[in-house]
Structure 1
Amino acid sequence: MGKLLENLHLVMLVGLVAAIGLMMGFHADTLTESAMLQWLHVFFGITWIGLLYYFNFVQIPTMPSIPAELKPAVGKYIAPKALFFFRWGAALTVLTGLILAWSNGYLVESLTYAEGYRLIGIGMWLAIIMAFNVWFIIWPNQKKALGMVEADDATKASSARTAMLTSRINTLLSIPMLYAMTTFSPLGG
């Protein structure tokens, strides 16, 4: 069991096989494209928002207490890997969400706040804004702050602050976004 759990790719594969087994065992005759998309949307969303909360609740507040000689390890090894999954989690969450809304026939109604679709529309627009922030503000500034692209010390400090503040904006927006996303269907819009 230790060997299985030491290999992340194998853990993910076994988890996927277990999920497919549940799907086939409980919903083989009723499993739909929509259900699969919803499952993927939630998986990618948990990855994205989980990392958003990790950065804001753990990494950012902890960095000032990390000894100076250890900080480069976070910037060189941990942050770039976490940012990879963070930005692709954002992209895939929004993509699967848009495809899910389209396949269920409420994409345009949601994005235009049609009657009965305003709550999910608000959630969708908040997620789109957040994903934009990830790809076009946080990521470019993090690359400078982490030294992945050439930048002087003043630019690195300014970029780190911009990335942090934008990440905090995303944390703020994630709270109403999650409400809109999780209550749309049960409350009927």
Structure 2
Amino acid sequence: MAISLRRQGPTKFEQAADGSMTLIEHVRELRNRLFWAALGIVAGLIVGFIISQWVFHILEGPYCGLESSWIDGKCRFVVLGATDGLVLRLKIALWVGLIVGAPVWLFQLWAFIAPGLHKHERKWAYIFVAIAAPLFIGGAVLAYFVIQHSLPFIMEAGVIGDTTQLEVSAYIGFVTSMILIFGAAFEFPLILLMLNFTGVVSARRLLSWWRIVVFLSFGFSAIATPDPGPFGMTLLALCMVVLYLAAVGVAFLNDRRKGRGKEIYAGLDDDEISPIEDDREPVGAMGRVDGATALETPEPVAKPLPLERRFDDMT
């Protein structure tokens, strides 16, 4: 008797896609997905705890560039609590664990959501995720560059008037917050592309927003950047504007591929008068209306047959 190695019956993905999976099966699948996602995060947390010292040395780079941070030939921070060093290492390990375990927990999240999407929606989701990761990394690198060049000015422009030592937890929190803000800011053009690819707005409409985008970019940069000077604000705003223009260019290519803008009324202005000739005739006085005629008397309705005589033997 031959034994078949092929899996019999539909897979869980096919069951979830065609709606044959019950509610209890969905809940059970969600539990399994969360379990494997948690395992991925725990594994990443272990890796993050091992390399947390190396990550800390990278994050302390802008601070160690200050002369006041060096005491006895070492870059030193101010530590206020006995457990601050351990708690900070666990925080860094958690951040690194989320990044290292991202392939696992993102795959589990995607495997649970993907059956509810169409095939073309899944294809565009792959493309957007592939673009989002490099954009976030670019924003994080820019944040590190801005902090490195603006931290001396921030320290010297305060009321103390000179650079001094910083508390380690507050400094690391400041650096990680800036990395998250800059990384999220670089995802802005991706949102515009999603609106264009889904057909919500056209490329011409996106281009018509350039004044608003430039104003919002500089406004957001003025609030997000720690440097009160124009260096960091201008750099972040220019990067956001360049990414916006790149997104508009991709949107124009997408509109040309889909044939948008060639509709029958695409070239007409909303306030333009119709080119159809005005051949309306003036309405004159109303003619004479004759009186209503009497209706004829309807014929009497025949009496219906008895119930047993309405149908034959077959009906």
TM-score above 0.5: no
Higher helix share: 1
Larger radius of gyration: 2
Structure 1-normalised TM-score?
Answer: 0.33
Q: RCO (CA 8 Å, sep 6+): is it higher in 1 or 2?
A: 1
Q: State TM-score, norm by structure 2.
A: 0.23
